[in-house]
């Protein structure tokens, strides 16, 4: 066993388990539970990497320790001999690269802000009303993209779909993503039905967004 995923419950690291199942690469899971009061990762994760965040991927054969989900996805594409990497066509490659980084760089920040302000009594509801329109811009963009092709980068599933799963699952749970955006909902239902996704879910433990 050479790949170890340091996996936090209900977190972005579920995507990495799914990708490993899609690639058929052997891996080991080291699970961590959130603090029940703060919902933060436990301090044990800082022993693996100073940031104390999940996911962290250890490649014990090579000695690499990789953080940041997008970087891990790109690393696994290399380990998987290019599988789940960008399609061959230049336009599709550009879409792949943009969406790979869009997931964390653009759409996740307002979702995280919404999560935080919803926990603030009284003023939180007012702030949430201002943040939701920002999120709706992203959800409309995603709906338009998925209305024009079956997967984010093209005709086949890629790492871009892996990356986009967590923010869209979070949006469905707490940010207004519903049947009014049918292409996005159909995409979520499609990934949830994949055997590799189901296998990763069974191995990963609690995950609120599936």
| In the block, residue with structure tokens 């972005």 | 12
Most confident of 9-13, 113-117, 191-195: 191-195
- Greatest pairwise CA separation for the chain in angstroms: 52
List beta partners, residue 3.
59
- Domain annotation for the chain: domains and CATH numbers: 3-84+196-204 (3.40.30.10), 90-194 (1.20.1050.10)
Angle between helices 182-192 and 123-148 (to 10 degrees): 80
Q: Which residue has the tokens 């990934």?
A: 191
Which has more confidence, 117 or 195? 195
Q: Which of 37-46, 61-70, 153-162 is least confident?
A: 37-46
For 75-106, the pLDDT digits (tens) are 999 999 999 999 988 999 999 999 999 999 99
Strand partners, 202: none
What is the pLDDT, as a whole number, of residue 1? 57
153-177: b (≥16 Cβ within 10 Å) or e: bbeebbbbbbbbbbbbbbbbebbeb
Mean pLDDT of 104-122: 90
Q: What is the pTM of this model?
A: 0.93
Residue 176 has pLDDT above 70, yes or no: yes
């Amino acid at each position: 066993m050479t790949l170890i995923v340091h996996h936090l419950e209900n977190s972005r690291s579920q995507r990495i388990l799914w990708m490993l199942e899609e690639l058929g690469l052997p891996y080991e899971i080291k699970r961590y539970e959130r603090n029940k009061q703060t919902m933060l990762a436990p301090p044990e994760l800082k022993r693996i990497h100073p940031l104390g965040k999940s996911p962290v991927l250890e490649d014990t054969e090579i000695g690499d320790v990789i953080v940041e989900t997008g970087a891990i996805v790109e690393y696994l594409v290399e380990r998987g001999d290019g599988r789940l990497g960008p399609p061959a066509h230049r336009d599709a490659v550009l879409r792949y690269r943009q969406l790979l980084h869009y997931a964390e760089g653009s759409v996740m920040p307002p979702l995280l802000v919404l999560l935080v302000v919803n926990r603030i009594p009284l003023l939180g509801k007012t702030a949430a009303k201002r943040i939701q329109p920002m999120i709706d811009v992203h959800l409309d963009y995603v709906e338009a993209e998925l209305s024009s092709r079956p997967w984010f980068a093209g005709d086949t599933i890629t790492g871009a779909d892996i990356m986009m799963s967590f923010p869209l699952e979070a949006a469905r749970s707490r940010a207004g993503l519903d049947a009014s955006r049918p292409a996005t909902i159909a995409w979520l239902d499609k990934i949830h039905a994949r055997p590799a996704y189901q296998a990763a879910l069974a191995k990963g433990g609690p995950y609120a967004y599936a």
